[in-house]
Amino acid sequence: MNWRRALHYYATVGIYVGLGQLLALAYTLPFYVEFLRDAPNRVKQSYQWSIAFSDHLGGAANSFFNPLRSDVNGAFGSSPLILVAMLAPVALAPVRQVKGRAIMVALWLAFVVIFLCSVGDDTPVDYFFWKFFPFADSFRVPGRIAVLLPPILMLMLAWFFRAADDENFRRQMRPLVPWHLTLMAQAVFVTGYFLLAHTQTGYCTPFNIQQYPSWVNSLIFLSGLACLLLATLRVLPGRARVLAGLLLSGIVITQTVVQLRYGAWVAHRDPTPSLEQMDEAKRSDLAFRGAQFGMESKTVVKPSVGVDGKPFFPFAVFRPANKNAPPVDYSAAVPQNTAVPGTRVATVYTAFNRLVLKVDASTPGFLTLSVPYSPNWRASVKSQKFSVVRTDRNELAVFLPAGTHDVDFRFHSPASVAGMLISCGTALFLALFFSRRCRPGWVRNTVMVVAIVVLGGGFALWERSLYNGDNLGMRYVWTSSH
């Protein structure tokens, strides 16, 4: 009977998780199809590329003892209380009376697998993950998977304290009692702290990249001892349990704050521009992406200088050419004798998925945009379609005849439409499914009608808004004199 209940429970959870995935397809499907699937810096890379900036076993193990000696890309430790979380499932697994024993052992095994995966090629686990797990071959820096470990550790630690507070459980555990585990964790902590002080680690440990004060390491060691001593008092019967728990919480928070302060890179932060400044930047250059952040020096692209002496960003240019000639990128300097006087390009409407440019051309040629090429871009003039081609520098170009044209560039995303349809369809299914329980009948019918109108109308409004949103107002004019 228990197995039936458990099977029903996990099947229900699996169904709800699946429905959640379907609801999220409006975002995840276009992300995969239009970015991850053909991202040149992510796909078809070697295994050696994937293990860049890996930590080693000793460095990763320091998350239990001194996280400042773990690589910042994979450190997951804070307080040495996590040692108790690691020891408890092993010690308590033989005690049948422990509630949730099987779940905790499963979490412990999951922790071990993820931990071994986080150290890259120090173990074969990461290669197996990279080779056979979906999307893992586009996953770089193995230590990043350690982000899954803190929730597992917190669940195991909470399970231990709950078991330790159960009087019946303490009687059944003898001769092993909860405070034996905390003292055992203390012995492991002292031993590991000194044994792993000079072990091989990844390059990006705070110990290497930070010049933090020497007292920080002493604080980590002493606070670790204090945490495990207070944890011992916390699991002992008596009046001191409450006070020990309060002091334990304070020390854990203090140690975590110190480690966060000195446990990562420190970089200069540029002032965040205001919304007005960002809007103004978008009007002058569509490539604006907000403030940049990074530890390396920034590459600044200098604009060209226009005939009036003001900075000029060559966003779109038009050059006469034969239709059979390959399109050339004109974002860089181009000899002036290739231009025809009187040619002009100006922005009419600008958004990130739609551009409308007014082109006055006295001769046929290529309109070239400094926008990365994608086959999803479509170009039209009124109802006439024009082929979008790739320049020699992977940018957009379209051949136009002589005359005045309002060229409409639109980025079509079938994956976004399909994902939104599936998400709306799933939401409609859920609304209709749960509306069956509504009583009386008129309430049920009303809910169904509202769900159909809201979701169907919402999808129609979303589809219409794709190419009719706010104009960013980018001001750009190019003439043949540039």
What single-letter amino acid sits at 46? S
Domain final position from 246, 262, 278:
262
Pair (206, 306) in one structural domain:
no
Domain count, the chain: 2
User: What are the pLDDT digits (tens) for 95-125?
Assistant: 776 777 888 899 999 999 999 999 999 999 9
Which pLDDT value is given to residue 127?
94
- Rounded CA-CA distance 295/41 in Å is 20
pLDDT at 332 over 60: no
Domain membership flag for residue 23: no
Domain membership flag for residue 90: yes
What single-letter amino acid sits at 424? C
Is residue 57 within 8 A of residue 122, CB to CB? The reply is yes
Pair (65, 201) in one structural domain:
yes
Q: Please state the rounded mean pLDDT for residues 278-282.
A: 76
What is the band of 343 on the pLDDT scale with cuts at 50, 70, 90? Answer: confident
174, with CB counted inside 10 A (0-12, 13-18, 19+), is exposed
Domain membership flag for residue 42: no
Between residues 309 and 459, the one the model is more confident about: 459
What is the distance of C-alpha 376 from the center of its chain?
24
Pair (324, 189) in one structural domain:
no
Find the range with the poorest average confidence among 18-22, 47-51, 404-408, 441-445.
Answer: 441-445
Which pLDDT value is given to residue 329?
57
Question: Tell me, what CATH number does 341's domain have?
Answer: 2.60.40
Which pLDDT value is given to residue 339?
54
Range of the domain at 227: 47-262
- Rounded CA-CA distance 395/128 in Å is 38
Pair (247, 308) in one structural domain:
no
pLDDT at 126 over 80: yes
DSSP, collapsed to helix, strand or coil, labels residue 197 as coil
Pair (246, 387) in one structural domain:
no
pLDDT at 410 over 60: yes
The beta-carbon contacts of 210-213 under 8 Å, at least 24 apart in sequence, are 210/68, 210/262, 210/263, 210/265, 210/266, 212/68, 212/262, 213/262
End-to-end CA distance of the chain: 81
Domain membership flag for residue 243: yes
Q: Please state the rounded mean pLDDT for residues 154-179.
A: 77
Pair (234, 335) in one structural domain:
no
Is residue 278 within 8 A of residue 290, CB to CB? The reply is yes
pLDDT at 464 over 70: yes
Provide, for the chain, the percentages of residues in helix, strand and coil under a 3-state DSSP scheme, each rounded to the nearest 5. Answer: 50, 15, 35
Write b or e for each residue in 257-267: b if 16 or more Cβ atoms lie within 10 A of its Cβ, otherwise e: ebbeebbeeee
What is the band of 161 on the pLDDT scale with cuts at 50, 70, 90? Answer: confident
Q: Please state the rounded mean pLDDT for residues 70-85.
A: 91
- Rounded CA-CA distance 482/478 in Å is 7
Position of tokens 């008129």?
442
Domain membership flag for residue 107: yes
What is the band of 288 on the pLDDT scale with cuts at 50, 70, 90? Answer: low
Average pLDDT in the chain? 84
Domain membership flag for residue 468: no
Residues 6+ positions from 170 with CB-CB distance below 8 Å: 164, 177, 178, 237
Pair (313, 255) in one structural domain:
no
Which pLDDT value is given to residue 277?
81
Which pLDDT value is given to residue 173?
63
Pair (355, 230) in one structural domain:
no
Pair (229, 125) in one structural domain:
yes
CA 329 → CA 89, 337, 352, 421, distances in Å? 63, 16, 21, 38
pLDDT at 217 over 80: yes
Domain membership flag for residue 422: no
Backbone angles phi, psi at 144, to 5 degrees: -65, -25
Q: What angle (nearest 5°) sits at the alpha carbon of residue 295, between those of residues 289 and 299?
A: 55
From 241, 262, 204, 269, select the one nearest 53 (Cα to Cα).
204
Pair (187, 73) in one structural domain:
yes
- Rounded CA-CA distance 181/351 in Å is 61
Is residue 31 within 8 A of residue 15, CB to CB? The reply is no
Domain membership flag for residue 192: yes
For residue 83, the tally of other CB atoms under 10 A from its CB is 27
Between residues 467 and 330, the one the model is more confident about: 467
Q: Give me 193's structure tokens.
A: 């702290």
For residue 243, the tally of other CB atoms under 10 A from its CB is 12
Domain final position from 216, 240, 262:
262
Q: What's the order of all strands across the beta sheet hosting 403-411?
A: 384-386, 377-381, 403-411, 354-361, 344-350, 477-479
User: What are the pLDDT digits (tens) for 83-103?
Assistant: 999 998 888 777 776 777 888
pLDDT at 333 over 50: no
Q: Please state the rounded mean pLDDT for residues 199-204.
A: 88
Domain final position from 212, 235, 262:
262
Pair (80, 198) in one structural domain:
yes
Is residue 400 within 8 A of residue 386, CB to CB? The reply is yes
- Rounded CA-CA distance 173/164 in Å is 10
pLDDT at 295 over 50: no
Helical axes 414-435 vs 2-23, angle rounded to 10°: 140
Q: Please state the rounded mean pLDDT for residues 26-33.
A: 92
Pair (84, 221) in one structural domain:
yes
